[in-house]
Chain A
């Protein structure tokens, strides 16, 4: 275990110890090396961004964190323990929630049902109780509905509660997806390009929500984003990847002045 003291951000927030640590992660698909020997950590309460040009391996990294891919080499440490190989749903039950680059909502269900689905890791009533709609199942349904309503209030989507998700516009779908992830009350929230395809106003809204979530619930957030302006504004520390390798790691200012990062983004003269 490395240091657990944390640090204080530029705007005065206290960041805690290491929540998740990636140690020498390598990911291979047959002969293709998607990620090569990358290590970094995510600290409690921070907004951590992963950036890099197309094909740098950012999404693969997120998929490793959420358990969708198993790294070929290297270890994932979570809450001070080495994480054994596990199924994605087990990772989710440990408090890792995520959103997707291409929206992955359940189109046939209403907004409310989608967000309620996010709470299913908190529900445990048995088949019989659920069939009777009595006892534990009923209490759980009501208690979790209250939690879900808090999230709905927070993200300002009260008016579309009972709308089927398929009818919503893109920006709102992204917000509902965030709500579904938030409803799980995760320890760490992974956002895969939360602002892709949004206009400036929607991006501002989304940035505000991300910061509010971090502020209000103290949720640790790891996000991938292409919009440099947004990333530099909202994140505390940034990992920069290029061709599967880590080329920079630090505060937005450090990264901005890193020669390797500038080369990767602007190209280098040969």
Chain B
């Protein structure tokens, strides 16, 4: 009923290739955007901003970057956290060397550095693929984290070896650092994430997206119909690392407030990979669904038993969380390799023809 598509005729290719060929999708997104921009900021508490809204957005962005590389271009990467680190450290150096710089510009520029590093570490993908490439990106992971630790210039030679986000102002308002307000930070993150999501959707539905998907599905055929595989893979690494780098800068500047090198260690890479897998490889929306699940689950597990009056220790919550997430990953790998996004697509397909299935 809700998804009746009858009567929506396309009379031009422009209309058929619009972002939302089905009107209901546009309405749905409109409602989500209203919630994200208006309803949540009006109702959310400090706790909700810090434990749910901001991390969900940042993790979604990081997973989206990884998804472009792994889900669209088919190049498996285990170095996501390290590229996030590059973005974070680049942003830190920029705002400390040039304190007058607009912090949002600095965050967006920091992705450029991680894009460069990403392309450099993407070069092995020209010769190796699959698991072997995953190992090569693992090298990037270990090397970069080691570099964050040993290269004192990166953290301005301070004794702790960690980077501390300074107070940063934009238009007279603190947007980063200890004095920043959570709601302002949320809006900054939301703005950047919305913008990058739109750009990523456009890239993946256009010519470049098809080039990536062709490379993923059958690289030999792709080359024989005129795709330069080197270019295709390296642009995937570039775009992916850019997005991941921006996510890394947001991660530290808008959420954590400080970062040690081991924050960007391999568990973070895996966490983002899990989000991408559970959400759905080869889907943009899936990253959001995956991040909501991975970030939201521990919060729900923490608060739900308390509100219901069930006594449960925090260690137990931790164990439950690991068990549930672990079994979900296995479930999705076996039952639905395309993740939550595919589940939604199936529901939508069924809704469109409901109540007559044929």
Q: How far is the CA of A116 from the CA of B220 in the complex (A)?
A: 17
**Residues of chain B lying within 8 A (CB to CB) of residue A123:** 207
- What is the number of residues of chain A that contact chain B, defined by CB distance less than 8 Å? 40
A107's partner among B14, B211, B217, B224 (CB-CB below 8 A) is B217
Residue in chain A with minimal CB distance to B21: A162
**Is the beta-carbon distance between B217 and A108 smaller than 8 angstroms?**
yes
Q: Is B2 an interface residue (CB 8 A)?
A: no
Chain B neighbourhood of A121, CB < 8 A: 225-226
- In the bound complex, how far is the Cα of B120 from the Cα of A194, in angstroms? 41
Interface members, chain A 94-127 (any B CB < 8 Å)? 97-98, 100, 104-109, 113, 116-118, 120-121, 123, 125, 127
Q: A100-B221, A104-B221, A118-B225 are in contact. Are A149 and B13 (CB under 8 A)?
A: yes
Take A120-B227, A130-B206, A132-B199 as given contacts and tell me if A108 and B216 are in contact as well, using a CB distance cutoff of 8 Å. Answer: yes
Q: In the complex the two chains form, what is the Cα distance from A92 to B211 in whole Å? A: 14
Contact of B235 among A88, A92, A127, A137 (CB under 8 A): A127
Is B282 among interface residues, defined by CB-CB distance under 8 A? yes
Whether B207 lies near A140 (C-beta < 8 A) is yes
Chain B interface residue count, Cβ-Cβ cutoff 8 angstroms: 32
Q: A116-B210, A132-B199 are in contact. Are A92 and B226 (CB under 8 A)?
A: yes
User: Which among B13, B216, B235 is the interface contact of A142 at CB below 8 angstroms?
Assistant: B13
CB-defined contacts of A116 to chain B, threshold 8 Å: 207, 210
Among A88, A125, A142, contact of B207 (Cβ-Cβ < 8 Å): A125
Q: Is B176 engaged at the interface, CB distance under 8 Å to the other chain? A: no
A133 to B207, CA, bound (A): 11
In angstroms, how far is the closest chain A Cβ from the Cβ of B44?
A: 31
Beta-carbon contacts under 8 Å, B204-226 to A: 206-208, 210-211, 213-214, 216-218, 220-226
Given A120-B211, A132-B199, do A97 and B217 touch, yes or no (CB 8 Å)? no
Partner of A133, one of B206, B214, B223, B229: B206
Is B207 in contact with A106, judged by CB distance below 8 angstroms?
A: no
The answer on a CB contact under 8 Å between A141 and B206 is yes
Q: Bound complex: CA of A120 vs CA of B208, how far in Å?
A: 9
B118 CB to nearest A CB, Å: 14
A266 within 8 A of B: no
A130-B202, A137-B207 known; A106 and B213 CB under 8 Å?
yes
B202: contacting residue among A133, A145, A181, CB under 8 A? A133
Say yes or no: B229 contacts A89, CB within 8 Å. yes
7 nearest interchain CB pairs? A92-B226, A104-B221, A106-B217, A133-B202, A131-B199, A121-B226, A145-B13
The contact sample of 24 A-B pairs, CB cut-off 8 A, is A68-B224, A89-B223, A89-B224, A89-B225, A89-B228, A93-B226, A100-B224, A106-B216, A106-B222, A108-B217, A109-B214, A116-B210, A117-B210, A117-B222, A120-B210, A127-B235, A131-B199, A132-B202, A140-B207, A141-B206, A142-B14, A142-B17, A146-B13, A181-B225
Q: A104-B218, A120-B225 are in contact. List 13 more A-B contacts (CB 8 A).
A: A68-B224, A92-B224, A92-B226, A108-B217, A108-B282, A117-B210, A117-B213, A120-B227, A125-B207, A127-B208, A130-B202, A131-B202, A142-B14
**A residues within 8 Å of B by Cβ?**
66-68, 87-89, 92-93, 97-98, 100, 104-109, 113, 116-118, 120-121, 123, 125, 127, 130-133, 137, 140-142, 145-146, 149, 180-181, 184
